[in-house]
Chain A
């Protein structure tokens, strides 16, 4: 296939494109979904296709095809070139970039796992789900529904461009989750959720805390606890934010604002603020395509979809803005270096600046010290998603929480919503715990410009924040 991609690049060059990128994805996606005692979905997807970007006059034209025939590939290049040429006249901000020395990856680079998901049969994977669901039933109470999910995505990614670079690597992610819904005496429904995923081998599901039994037990136990939880009070409180939610905070509320395409057009409040203090010394945010996954978890993204090698980018350093996340075009426009952040959700989309693994770096507090520092407020745990607006206002959902008084956990809270403005929030970070944990997975993902769901990793320690707005029940 690499030769076909190279022919596409040559053809694009010949048509008159200033630069051409060609990529091919050949991925397998599997979803297993058990609801109570029935298997609702046993799904296998084969996703293969080619994407071509042609650059002309500072604009980009993109086209794609699922066909691998020479004629169809040529038509695809031609469409991309025609789009770029038609767009060039409208481009008043030109994101051209200089040629660089070509890069060449090893053949089929891959993250070393002991047991690759492709080596295990379907029965092995359905058994993981069964074990999680059955254990959830054991530990839950007043259950109205138990759902078990397993997902995996893996396969080959190829890239070449007009510089002659060739990138050849294997993407891989697995994920196991359990959701328990229980019914309270008053008829209200409450949830308990647990799951783990990322670039892992199947051996991961044999490790303590990540076994199907552990996942089922936690989901069941949490739903049971939620039966007696109350609504979070509405208002502004001190907060202790758990690792997974901290990761979403780093990704959604700050990471997106640091993406180069928003910066170039002035749409982000971080535009022109390099070197400016935005947060306390406890706020350091990093994006890294190849973190220490064996130790902390996460997603392995060694190259982006423009062929740029993964980077560790310190975006916010002890509260001071240092760098943005880039494609090659936004990097050159803003006179920074490419950061390996130009990604597409699949071959049907042009790559744009996106995150890889985004996280707050750890602090020096123990869990007990963090609770003591919190004093009285809300301990917000697990994530049900979040969203940020271009002015920095955000909303995040924690699946559950606890009301804490004088450093002691008092009572469980139902779903907790945290909101505010990220620039304000960063100035309220008082400290972090020592433990760094990443989350990633097959289910869910990041959405931007219609490209959803892109797998991303996110993480951090637990953070103590002096003031967060909680949506809930006002008196």
Chain B
């Protein structure tokens, strides 16, 4: 079993051995080899049902290329035998068909790596008993908060691991990290009405702080009880609190500024560099070098140094996010955003995913008002959305059209937060929404989507309730 201290050197040693073997297969073929290793422990308690897991995710992936042809093969495990298996399969695929990718211009060239994120030794030492106790306390605190709390679920995880990447252009890089996270989810019930509240914590630099989380989640659920019907179809301003706002960003700019839909002409932003696409108060930065960012690493998943990229500056679209492949087609440099299924909705076996593009850590600019002042500034009716609406991640990147159901919602009337509402449908177009972004709050919050955002106020969305 690997140890954290020598993880990078052991993975790099295997990469070197694998590439040497690959070169013996065919000197005309270029190769890239990626190794992934992660030790993960988690405890899940639903009410009183306990499931605990402790395992090792390990695997390898090989890309082989010759004359504009590229193949990919992966296999579970990082032993030399498994690596050889992937190399052999990648070569067999490459040789068996004549299909081409004329846009492929080679693997990532070696460059000086960036910096690693913060490492926390206490996460390495987080034991199974502690994780179980954290989860147990979260459930207990949630259930004990009020007799209207029907059910509580908590999940606590700790992980450490890393990856190494090498290719026949003499690139060899590695990265490692620690992470722990938890969530608690409480359901309140009154007669036949059921409402849920949610709290989370995630960190790569220190242990999760579970104190008070169970109570907060329970309070959120109870606050939503007694919901009334909106009972109309209309157009209203909407106030999106940070978690809801982060889901809006992730589903919209988080997708459409990726190089893939841009180059493939499936992004409506393809031809809009330097155009004003949003309120001038909006600046969006993707920072792959933020020390506390959960996706921060010295290099991305193809070995390119991660960096800080300004995506939107004062409402003007400045840059897209790229890996080497799409950057070269677009005629620019990679922005260090190559990913292999990582991120908040990442693949559970990341090494199986061929290189793609994803944000690292998105920071949204702030305004001057706190949430109460944002609400107070609204005339007439508006809707306050306090959690990620359902369906938002099923939205269509190419059209920008979205229609979601917001379950955690309150009516705002003449500057005052009134009563909770039964779930409402919220529809509109993401990009028109940014044009009608009225205000940004100052309540900057870290969210589970690797996005730090304040509350946002939009105008012009259709509401049905």
> Which residues of A line the B interface, CB within 8 A?
29, 34-49, 59-67, 75-76, 79-80, 82-84, 86-93, 95, 121-123, 126, 144-145, 147, 181, 183, 187-191, 231, 234-236, 261, 264-267, 269, 345-346, 348-350, 352, 384-397, 414-415, 417, 419, 421, 449-452, 469-475
Contact = CB atoms under 8 A, between A and B. Distances in A.
B55 interface: yes
B132 A93 contact: no
A93 B48 contact: yes
B464 A66 contact: no
A393 B73 CA distance: 41
A5 to B, nearest CB: 16
B43 A35 contact: no
A286 B195 CA distance: 28
Q: List 4 tightest A-B contacts by C-beta distance, closest first.
A: A92-B48, A471-B403, A417-B403, A474-B462
Contacts of B279: none
B169 interface: no
Given A42-B72, A46-B73, A395-B405, 18 more contacts: A43-B73, A62-B54, A62-B55, A63-B54, A87-B132, A90-B133, A121-B96, A126-B97, A181-B398, A265-B48, A267-B46, A267-B153, A269-B194, A389-B196, A390-B196, A393-B423, A417-B425, A452-B348
A59 to B, nearest CB: 4
Interface of B: 1, 41, 43-59, 69-77, 79, 82, 85-86, 89-90, 93, 96-97, 99-103, 128-129, 132-133, 135-136, 150-151, 153, 187, 192-196, 233-235, 264-266, 268, 348-349, 352, 354, 390-391, 394, 396, 398-399, 401, 403-405, 407, 423, 425-427, 462-464
Given A91-B49, A266-B150, A387-B390, A419 B405 contact: yes
Nearest to B261: A145
B391 A35 contact: no
B58 A66 contact: yes
Most central of B54, B89, B192, B349 by chain A CB within 10 Å: B54
Contacts of B69: 39
A419 B100 contact: no
Contact of B399 (A89, A144, A191, A236): A191
Contact of A40 (B93, B101, B128): B101
A76 B55 contact: yes
A216 B248 CA distance: 33
Given A122-B97, A269-B194, A46 B396 contact: no
B89 A46 contact: yes
Nearest to A82: B128
Given A95-B49, A181-B398, A48 B233 contact: no
A412 to B, nearest CB: 14
A189 B59 CA distance: 38
Nearest to A49: B76
A48 B74 CA distance: 11
Contacts of B52: 59-62, 83-84, 86-87
Given A75-B1, A87-B50, A384-B394, A391 B75 contact: no
Contacts of B72: 41-44
Given A38-B102, A47-B349, A123-B97, A87 B464 contact: no
A417 B427 contact: yes
A395 B128 CA distance: 37
Contacts of B85: 46
B57 A393 contact: no
29 contacts: A38-B100, A38-B101, A42-B71, A43-B72, A44-B72, A48-B75, A49-B76, A60-B51, A62-B54, A83-B52, A87-B50, A89-B132, A90-B133, A90-B136, A91-B49, A92-B48, A145-B265, A191-B398, A236-B464, A267-B151, A267-B153, A346-B349, A391-B194, A415-B399, A471-B425, A471-B464, A474-B233, A474-B427, A474-B462
Contacts of A91: 48-50
Contact of A189 (B128, B266, B426): B266
B153 A265 contact: yes
Contact of A415 (B93, B396, B404): B396
Contact of A83 (B53, B71, B90, B100): B53
Contacts of A235: 233, 464
B251 to A, nearest CB: 12
B151 A82 contact: no
A189 B398 contact: yes
A236 B424 CA distance: 12
A189 B49 contact: no
A42 B93 contact: yes
Nearest to B465: A469
A471 to B, nearest CB: 3
Contacts of B349: 47, 346, 348
A345 to B, nearest CB: 7
A45 B399 CA distance: 32
Given A40-B101, A91-B50, A395-B390, A419 B423 contact: yes
Contacts of B352: 29, 45, 47
A141 to B, nearest CB: 15
A384 B251 CA distance: 15
Contacts of A352: 51
Contacts of A37: 102
Contact of A191 (B193, B195, B396): B396
A201 to B, nearest CB: 21
Nearest to A83: B52
Contacts of B73: 43-46
Contacts of A261: 46, 49
B51 A188 contact: no
Contacts of A189: 266, 268, 398-399
Contacts of A75: 1
Nearest to B100: A39
A61 B51 CA distance: 6
B391 to A, nearest CB: 4
Contact of A93 (B49, B97, B100, B425): B49
B75 A42 contact: no
Contacts of B394: 384-387, 395, 397
Contacts of A46: 73-76, 85-86, 89
